Chains A and B, each alone.
Chain A
Amino acid sequence: MGKRVGMEVSIAAAEAVKQANVDVISAYPITPQTHIVEHLSEVVANGELDAEFFCVESEHSAMSICIGSEATGARSFTCTSAQGLALMAEMTYIASGLRLPILMIVANRTLSAPLSIWNDHSDAMMIRDCGWIQFFVENGQEVYDHVFISYRVGEDRSVLFPTIINMDGFILSHVIEPIELIEQEKIDQFLPPYQPLYRLHPDRPVTMGAFALPAIFAETKKAQEVALRSSMPKILEVWKAFGDMTGRYYHPVETYKAEDAETLLVTMGSIGETASVAVDQMREEGRSVGLVKLRLWRPFPFEALKQATLHAKNLVVIDRCVSVGGPGGPVASEVKSAIYGEPLRPTVYNFVAGISGRDVAPFDFIKMVDKAEIEIEEGKKDGYEIYGVRE
């Protein structure tokens, strides 16, 4: 077993990037991602990691450099938040279209306006369809672990996709947690050096990023779509291998006291830990409530989600982002789509909660479950509310 060390989650993330032996780091500092980049620049300056550290003038350039370096076969890393991710958005689609297995950590933060630096998932949802593998982790250990998992999955010849690890800004990034560090020899075994399928090299020239006319664009998109969906078995396989190495087994959908529950809370990200406290309290009162947590956002785990939820009567889906003028929160949309084809399915009640860093305490989950259960009982089919707003 590795050493357990108390450290800030951002530092643990940076340590993982160091242990993953990346070749290129290119990032622009933005709250709340800053500590990750600061620590990595120290690590490179101190000679602890033999990598190129690019101080760029914008996030657009940060991702552009990662695309270029990854295209030459260099393992590349970047991280950002909110407005930075928005500025980078154009290039995220190019990284996935070119199938370059870059890793990016997003310390999730609210998109302005109004200007806010606090946590929710509006930044991640802005690029929901960018074609990357996307994880939402729950605590610092998961951030640390998923750096290795992401590179191993993304760089696999059967996958070749960039990966985003979404971690809640401040709630995770600035919190000190006990992190179990993995010995370097084990990491080196788990994560061999990157062997690119194609790379920019004068000995064997290739063209990346060529123009595609309408006659071929749809074929390229279908190839990308099928490949991202097909990465699921490899993700499961790598999670299994990681579990065998560390004892920490991960799944696309996690359940907590969910098997026999009539009402299920559905969460994504760090809020799941708070929700589990609320579930314990409600269970003590004899209520039939459980919890389902989404860890894998893309490729979306349709089957695992159905398995975890179809037996329930009510699903109380918590979103951390408003789809303004749309059908509710993006997680609820996806959940509804996943279960729509089933003859017997639970009724979904959607709450948007904790946007822009507003605390969501265990009693808030209990209030949400109370309201959803009563209204669904009264026949409401399309419950949707931004929770806790003063009237």
Chain B
Amino acid sequence: MKNKDIVFRDTISLRGPNIWTYPPVIETWIDIGELEDFPSSKIPGLYERLSAWLPGLVEHRCSYDERGGFLRRLEEGTWAGHILEHIVLELMTLAGLPDGFGRTRETTTRGVYKLVVSNFHEEVTRMSLDVGRELLLAAIADQPYDLDEAVRLLRRKVDRKYLGPSTAAIVLAGEKRGIPHIRLLDDGNLVQLGYGAAMRRIWTAETDQTSAIAETISRDKDLTKELISSVGVPVPEGREVDSADDAWDAAEDIGLPVVVKPTDGNHGRGVFIDLMTREEVAKAYAIAVEEGSGVLVERSIQGIEHRLLVVGGKLVAANRSDLITVTGDGKSTVLELIDSQVNIDPRRGTTELHPLSIIKIDTAARIELERQGLTGDSVPIKDREVLIQRNANHAFDCTDEVHPDTAQVVALAARVVGLDIAGIDLVCQDVSKPLAEQGGAIVEVNAGPSLLMHIKPGIGKPRPVGQAIVDNLFAKDASGRIPLVGVTGTHGRNTVAKMVAHLIHLSGQHSGLACTDGIYLDRRHVQKTNAANWEGGRRLLMNRSVQAAVIENGARVILGEGLAYDRCSVGIVTNIVAEAEDLSRWDTQPTGGEYYTTPRSIYRTQVDVVLPSGHAVLNAEDELVADFAELCDGEVIFFAVDPANPTLLAHLAAGKRGVTVADKRVVLRSGADETRLSRLVDAPYIGKARQPTHIANVLAGIAAGWAMGLSKEVLTTGLKTFGLDLADPAALILQAAKKSQPKKPATARK
């Protein structure tokens, strides 16, 4: 079977909505060569090998829409492209990515398929494709394959490149509210939520509201303590010390036991708790001072460590660490007691499915035992309680237990430090009781806290912290979106895009326009090379000053790059003239069943992404375009030069909106209502020539403006000024001079 090979002919990264689906995908053109003659049923053992190597394939519901559906297809016989698609999806799942999208479609060339899979991260997807190909070839050839190693490498790549779990939770919560996101760093957690002027930024558990000074304060434990205790938040009393002797003096002042730790140390490095003797304090000082920031001596707070998460002044989640003790029976050793009293808990285990870990005597536990005069082999007397480990891992969600006063106190602590998101470390015996009566205290206020323990607590309910963060960044009904107009079609899209941008500018909003001529911010032409593409659109959406954006997209962008935006408020399709465009590179067929790429499947993408609250602006005089009306989640506004166009009339008859021409004027129609704008002849772009294509472009632009809710004045002014060369002040003066001459209608000359 030597010649059975799969060759990747071409790989196209579609970074936005595309003909296949909304999220980014990679479209790989694969050539399966002679495997075209060997569906899976004809390759002995392939089904067995694949289902053994990738048991997860049983979850793929493909073809029969039921569990095991794909495996059934595999057994019955399917082709290599389709098999590879499922292998790649399964590999990405094994690598820790969410469930993805997959599709395989044949092309007009025999043996060549378009294989499409979700693209969560470009490098990961490409690597999965390569691994998948090797694995499939090995399975076909009945050769061994080191799947574990491949998955390990994939996982590593995901860990390094894909969003971290905290960030992913926030992004997901945003998505649920319809808030789009843009990743600003290829392998970091800096993410923009929302578009243009409505954007906010997050970086793991920091937001653009997170104050740099507050972070500085939170890193200085002593200052934090001073500030929060001054407003009545209980803290462990203590002070900074400058020598081992001073540390002991402080310990005696405060009262034993004490904690010794570095002033700005984090993550427990150099932190020593429950010190009782001068020797212990001196030893701890010597190690803590190595951290280089100064050393604190504090009252030891008795109890369990809790982590409370405050977002926007409210407690949103709380977590308790695992305090492990055993009780002596006078016969068993500590080690035995741990096994019989702790590790017997069925929730403890070594796999990911176990929420709690198996307790062993590690360094921390050994020190803890040593302090109690014990080792793992000691036999504690009957009923003696032995502490094995405190703060083992933050495993228990305890959000609902937190006493309301305590919730208030931790929120105050975050506010005093100045953090919008803070992880508060609290030590107390029982978090359901007020702190004062149990001597509990807040020991630390952390900026950029980990959210994982609240999103995925070992035991207890996951908490919607991502949602809390998003809700704190965005007002209740805000979606982080700005008015966004996408324009596509074969002809006229550049003109329409420019006109819409012109209307937005007239309305007083900062406009951004990405089109074939480049990028315009208001009237500034900041890029002069073609920007009617993904990159150009993205530039606008990443621009904080853009209050409304207009993005031009041709068929090539949809086929080769994907749209720059996930959804838009207005989607315009001017017209579709298949014969005027050479799209053979994408193997498009002017006609053809659902299995081929057609003009309809290309251009409908622009209508598919219209928001439910948005509008599609469609050419009623182009049958193919008019047909998109049924695909639109939002409202449809038709435009037609001919007021008698039947599609338009039917639409109006249904009480819907349309823009057309009547009495040589542009008119807005809504059911039976009519609003007249200016005369065609007053529109410089149309001028005396009155070419139907020019008129159609203007109607499309006006329809978009109307969809955006722009006023009649803006629309009229737009009509009368679009096409004038406004950039040249001299032209304006000339225009003004002409206007002062009565009865000479202004026309544009070109």
A and B associate in one complex: no
